[in-house]
């Protein structure tokens, strides 16, 4: 059985090494620009959505009141509680 990928060995010629390094830097730059563009679009979409809701007059979040606990509760009689083992 042959080993398909043994590892990367950089070229021996100095100009080829420089070209390879420059190509790697260009790829890193391109991917960075794409990442920043995607992040910017996400921030713009979130900001636009919240601005649209505010201009439309949609209700905003209610202020948090620490005395209120939201949820559904059921009162259980003490004699009917399940026993843990």
> Does residue 40 lie in a domain region?
yes
Q: Which residues contact 60 (CB under 8 A, 6 or more apart)?
A: 54
Identify the domain containing residue 35 by its residue range.
30-57
> Does residue 35 lie in a domain region?
yes
CA distances to 19, 32, 34, 67 from 40, in Å: 31, 12, 10, 39
> Does residue 37 lie in a domain region?
yes
Please count the structural domains in the chain: 1
> Does residue 6 lie in a domain region?
no
30: confidence class by pLDDT, cuts 50, 70, 90: very high
- Say what the pLDDT of residue 60 is: 67
Does residue 67 register a pLDDT over 70? yes
Higher pLDDT, 74 or 62: 74
- Say what the pLDDT of residue 48 is: 95
């Amino acid at each position: 059985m042959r080993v398909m990928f043994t590892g990367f060995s950089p070229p021996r010629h100095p100009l080829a090494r420089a070209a390879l390094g420059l190509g790697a830097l260009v790829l890193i730059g391109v991917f960075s620009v794409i990442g920043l563009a995607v992040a910017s679009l996400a921030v713009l979409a979130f900001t636009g959505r919240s601005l649209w809701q505010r201009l439309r007059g949609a209700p905003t979040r209610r202020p948090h009141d620490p005395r209120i606990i939201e949820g559904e509760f059921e009162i259980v009689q003490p004699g009917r509680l399940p026993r843990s083992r």
